[in-house]
């Protein structure tokens, strides 16, 4: 039988084929090899540091001109910067002191603080541009607390009109128109009226105003006379009302 012989050329071709198979075997191997980085991948930076927010406990008293705590829940406004503020009523959710007239609130730490009484209650109001009884206060910082001391509210002027006969008997059913000062709009209140409100809420010959306009000259006119009676004479007038003042005007009527 004739044997097989390999030429040198054939032997070189076989060696090359073995090398190719070896390479393919390595590429298909299950052995995990670590890939080599072809480019420099930037390392992720650390997260931004969270800046803590600090608070201070602030206290404020709202008082009347006698130095007494206000018996009604006033609206107050706090500033922690010229543009950052918070407004709420005494004993609202933000208030940590249940005593009416005392306010305690947590405020963000700041270099300065300011607080003011604000707006109106049923009987009191914050005076605009006060000369004697300040409505605003700058906070005094002491460690983790801010003390605002006290701010004031003034009692509204009270003006009552009593409608009567010439001999002083009570007459009901009249209405009075009021023109208040300080840019407030004109309005009319009927005896026992609900809106605008006659503050004694009773048809009894007494029409009671609590002026939210504050101090100043109030002009008035009787615009509805009691049934069966002529308008009083004079039927109009003015009154220079003051804060905390109480005024009574009697309107005498003649039967028709």
Question: Given this model, what pLDDT does residue 82 score?
Answer: 85
| Residue 2 neighbours by CB distance under 10 Å | 4
Question: Could you read off the pLDDT of 92-141 as tens digits, one per residue?
Answer: 999 999 999 999 999 999 999 999 999 999 999 999 999 999 999 999 99
Under 8 Å between Cβ of 78 and 85: yes
Mean pLDDT of 47-60: 82
When pLDDT is cut at 50, 70 and 90, the band that residue 2 belongs to is very low
Instruction: Give dist(CA 212, CA 194) in Å, integer.
Output: 16
CATH 2.60.40.10 fits 55-155, yes or no: yes
Question: Given this model, what pLDDT does residue 86 score?
Answer: 96
- Are the folds of 55-155 and 158-253 the same? yes
pTM for the model: 0.77
Tokens coding 64: 């009347």
Q: What is the DSSP letter of 52?
A: P
User: Per the omega criterion (within 30 degrees of 0), is the bond before 101 cis?
Assistant: no
When pLDDT is cut at 50, 70 and 90, the band that residue 21 belongs to is very low
Question: Given this model, what pLDDT does residue 244 score?
Answer: 98
Give buried/exposed letters for 91-107 (b at 16+ CB in 10 A, else e).
Answer: beebbeeeebbbbebeb
When pLDDT is cut at 50, 70 and 90, the band that residue 4 belongs to is very low
When pLDDT is cut at 50, 70 and 90, the band that residue 53 belongs to is confident
| Residue 117 neighbours by CB distance under 10 Å | 31
Is residue 15 scored above 60 in pLDDT? no
Question: Given this model, what pLDDT does residue 16 score?
Answer: 43
Mean pLDDT of 225-233: 94
CATH class of 158-253: mainly beta
3-state class of 23 per DSSP? helix
User: What is the helix (H) or strand (E) element at residue 9, kind and residue range?
Assistant: helix 8-27
Question: Could you read off the pLDDT of 134-171 as tens digits, one per residue?
Answer: 999 999 999 999 999 999 999 999 999 999 999 999 99
- Cβ contacts of 76 within 8 Å, gap of 6 or more: 60, 62, 87, 88, 89, 90, 103, 115, 116, 117, 118, 151
Is residue 32 scored above 50 in pLDDT? no
Strand order in the sheet with 75-79: 85-89, 75-79, 114-118, 136-138
Query: Domain ranges in the chain?
Result: 55-155, 158-253
Question: Given this model, what pLDDT does residue 52 score?
Answer: 77
3-state class of 133 per DSSP? coil
- The whole-chain average pLDDT of the chain stands at 86
């Amino acid at each position: 039988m004739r044997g097989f012989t390999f030429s040198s050329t054939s032997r070189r071709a076989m060696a090359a084929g073995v090398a190719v198979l070896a390479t393919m075997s390595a590429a298909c191997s299950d052995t995990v090899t670590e890939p080599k980085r072809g480019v420099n991948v930037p390392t992720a930076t650390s997260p931004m540091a969270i800046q803590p927010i600090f608070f201070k406990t602030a206290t404020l008293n709202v008082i009347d001109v006698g130095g007494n705590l206000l018996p009604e829940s006033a609206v107050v406004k706090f500033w922690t910067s010229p543009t950052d503020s918070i407004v709420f009523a005494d004993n609202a959710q933000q208030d940590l002191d249940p005593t009416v007239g005392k306010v305690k609130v947590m405020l963000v730490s700041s270099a300065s603080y300011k607080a003011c009484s604000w707006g109106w209650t049923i009987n009191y109001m914050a005076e605009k541009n006060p000369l004697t009884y300040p409505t605003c206060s700058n906070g005094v910082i002491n460690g983790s607390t801010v003390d605002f001391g006290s701010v004031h509210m003034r009692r509204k002027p009270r003006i009552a009109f009593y409608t009567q006969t010439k001999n002083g008997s009570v007459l009901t059913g009249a209405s009075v128109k009021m023109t208040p000062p300080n840019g407030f709009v004109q309005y009319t209140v009927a005896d026992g009226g609900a809106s605008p409100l006659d503050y004694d809420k009773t048809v009894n010959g007494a029409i009671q105003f609590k002026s939210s306009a504050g101090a100043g000259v109030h002009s008035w006119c009787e615009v509805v006379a009691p049934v069966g009676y002529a308008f009083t004479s004079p039927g109009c007038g003015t009154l220079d009302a003051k804060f905390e003042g109480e005024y009574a005007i009697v309107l005498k009527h003649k039967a028709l």
